[in-house]
Amino acid sequence: YYSAHRPHLRILHRRLGPVQTVAVLVTGLSGLVMAAQAHAGPIAGFGFALHSLGTMGTVVVAAYYASRGEWPRHRLWARRCVLLLLAPLLLRLMTGFTIVTHLDTPNAYRCIAWLSWMLPMGVHEFCYARVGRIHNSSKPSLSLPSQF
């Protein structure tokens, strides 16, 4: 978004985009490995696995749209990817809150494993459906490209 109006940043963004895509895919694969070893059990592990798959999926779709020059759709999927990349920070904040309030139980952690990424994505999709289309004349689709 920020590089669209700054030519020197646009060039840097285009060069670093493939590097970021590979880095996110490697991160997602490592997330899958860690999900299989979740201390809170298979429910949390499944949530972490879906989070990793979602992160990898969003970066692939964002890269696909960038390669086709479909910038509004690229930005939409890149925002989704950034939200999923920031979800572990929210997980740490939520976990810290449960520790401070003495609510840290395995069940709380299982819920946090899901809420840490589903909550930001849900808010984003709600806001996009309500407001985003008003500001975007090309109205990018919420769905995957038909080639997938």
- pLDDT tens for each residue of 46-65: 999 999 999 999 999 999 99
Indicate the pTM of the whole model. 0.82
Query: Lowest mean pLDDT: which of 10-14, 56-60, 107-111, 122-126?
Result: 10-14
Give the pLDDT confidence of 61-98 residue by residue, as tens digits.
Answer: 999 999 999 989 999 999 999 999 999 999 999 999 99
Question: What does the alpha-carbon distance between residue 60 and residue 36 come to, in Å, rounded to a whole number?
Answer: 23
Vertex 49, ends 106 and 143: CA angle to 5°? 125
- pLDDT beyond 90 at 10: no
Ranges assigned E (strand) in 36-89: none
Average pLDDT over residues 102-121: 94
- CA dihedral (58, 61, 63, 65) positive or negative: negative
| Contact present, 124 and 75 (Cβ < 8 Å) | no
